[in-house]
Every structure is written in structure tokens, then in C-alpha cells.
Structure 1
Amino acid sequence: MTATSSAGGWRGRLREDRGSEAITTAIVAPLLLMLLCTAIAGGRIVTSGSKVDAAAEDAARAASISRTHAGAESEASAAAARSLNDQGIRCASTSTSIDASGLAVPLGQVGTVTVTISCTVPLSDLLLPGMPGSKTMTSTFTSVVDAYRSREG
């Protein structure tokens, strides 16, 4: 009799647990969805940062090849925009700052051109509570100007 009553008690407990899977799913599913969205946001931030780094490198190289200060600014801005567009990054706002003072050094001396790019990456489309609407990524790159290349600036 003891075995029967304990087995009946076990079956009774199983019947009392019906619906607990639905409750567990209702609690766990939103948490897993938020974790997934957070991972996607983190991935977007990391890849956007590396793309902004590459754009800064391209812009600095384009500016260092230029012969004039005005040409360096226009070439750097165009190269940065082209690089960001080619990589598929969509910035809510972009700014490019160029220090082309290295083009003014005399021939035979090495100068540098430094470009800083800031890109505001939107994150609001992920719809995560507590997640900021955007993240500003900034990158700076310095490129060497050829010491024996003619320049006007």
C-alpha cells in the first residue's frame, strides 16, 4: 500500500505542474529576446567602430597625397564619405576634422596629416528598453606625407 500511495502522490504532483512550462516560457522568452538584441547592438557598435577606423585611415591617406591644404580637406572629406558608404554604415551625423599642417613643412622634411572622423550610429531601431538611441564613434588616423613630394601648401 505504501508503494501505491506514493505512486499516486507522484502522479498527483505531476498533474499539479501542468501549465508550468507555459509560465516558464513566458518569463524566459523575453529575457532571451533582450539578450539577443543586446548582442546585436554590441555587434553593431563593434563593427561600426572598425568601419569608422577604416574610413579615417582612407581619409588620412587621401589627404596626405594631396598637394594643397584645401585639396587635402576636400579629398579627405570625400574619401571618408565614400569609405563609409562603401562599407554600408549609415551615420545619423558625420563630422570630419583634418589637420593638414604637415603639408606646409619644407621639402626634405617629413610631415603628417591627421584626420578625425565622428559618426553617430543609430541604435533606436533595436527597440531595447534602456538602450541609448545612438552611439557616437570617433576615430583618428595619422598618415605620413612623402618628404620629397612637391607641395604648394
Structure 2
Amino acid sequence: MNQVRCTARRARRLRGDEGSAAIEAAIIFPALIMFLCLAIAGGRIVTSGAKIDAAAQDAAREASIHRTAAAAQTAAQAAAAESLTGQGITCTSTSVTVNTGGLNVPAGQVGTVTATVTCTLKLSDLLLPGVPGAKTLTSTATSVVDLYRERSE
């Protein structure tokens, strides 16, 4: 009789699932945290990309309304910096290049100005293994120069 009770107790212990929830949580919880961090990194990259697109468009439009290449370059850099700051984007490094060839086209002909904004985003604050410490995003936009506006010679 005593031996039957011991065998029954031992069988219950072997079949019991006490502690399995803790083990499952220990396995799943890090994966969930990693997935959340990846989603945050992806979201940050996508939204920042859209904001950098807007900054490039602002820079191109601002450059297209100036008459000289030097003024266009200066205005484009200021417009891109203002746009990025206004949208809450903090770049570790930023560069703005402007192709002002369209400003030299004679009046009555179509000319375009192209601005390229490059921004390096910091991702190291996410502390996620496998995610690079920074991501460089580049956006290019083109704006048409007014067809009948006087051009500098």
C-alpha cells in the first residue's frame, strides 16, 4: 500500500507542468523584446526617410527660386536644415548638394534644380544586437525653374 502511494506520487510529479510557464516566458520574452526593438528601428527609418524626402523637396524648391548658383546652394542648405530641425530629425551628419545647372538655361527654356540631402541617423540608442549603430539615408528631389524668369548671365 505504501509503495503504491509512492509510485502514484512519483507519477504525478513526472506528469506535472509546474514551472513550465516560467520557462516559456524566459524563452519568449527576449524574442518579443527583440521584435519590438526591430519594429521601432524600422519605424524610425521609414518615418525619417519620409522627412528627409520632404527636406530634399524643400531644398530643391528653395534653390529653384534663386538667380545665382551660390545663392541657390546657400538657400538650399538653409532650407534643408530648417526642414529637418522643424520635423524633429537629428542627424549625426548632414550634407546637401545642389545641381544648379538649370539656372543657366536661357529664359523661355525649361531648367531644373536638383537637391540631394544625405542624413546619417543614430540607431545605437536602441541597444539591439544586429542593428547597425547608424543608418545613412539619402533623398533627391528636383524642382523646375520658372520658365520666364530672368536668369543671371
Question: TM-score surpassing 0.5?
Answer: yes
Structure 1 unaligned runs (5+)? Answer: 1-7
CA distance in 2, matches of 1:88, 1:14: 58
Paired-residue identity, % = 64
Structure 2 residues not aligned, in runs of 5+: 1-7
Question: Is residue 2:109 matched to residue 1:133?
Answer: no
Asked if residue 20 in structure 1 is aligned to residue 20 in structure 2, the reply is yes
Runs of at least 4 residues off by over 2 Å: 13-16
C-alpha displacement of 1:150: 1.4
**Counterpart amino acid of residue 133 in structure 1:** G
Deviations 1:2-48 (A, max 9, x none): xxxxxx78x92687311111111111101000000000000001001
Which AA in structure 2 matches 1:123?
Answer: L
Amino acid at match of 1:42: G
1:144 aligns with 2:144: yes
Residue 31 (structure 1) aligns with? 31
CA–CA distance in structure 2, aligned partners of residues 68 and 60 of structure 1: 14
Alpha-carbon deviations, 1:84-103, whole Å to 9, x = none?
00000110100111000100
In 1, the alpha carbon distance for the partners of 2:63 and 2:21 equals 62
TM-score (norm 2): 0.90
Partner of 2:4: none
* Letter aligned with residue 51 of structure 2: K
What is the aligned residue count? 146
Q: Report the Cα distance in structure 2 between the residues aligned to 1:108 and 1:18, rounded to whole angstroms.
A: 83
CA RMSD in angstroms, aligned pairs only:
1.8
TM-score (norm 1): 0.90
**1:86 maps to amino acid:** G
User: Which secondary structure state, in structure 2, belongs to the residue aligned with residue 92 of structure 1?
Assistant: strand
Deviation at 1:151, TM superposition (A): 2.1
Amino acid at match of 1:20: S
Q: Look up the SS of the partner of 2:91 in the other structure.
A: coil
Matches of 2:131 and 2:106, distance apart in 1 = 50
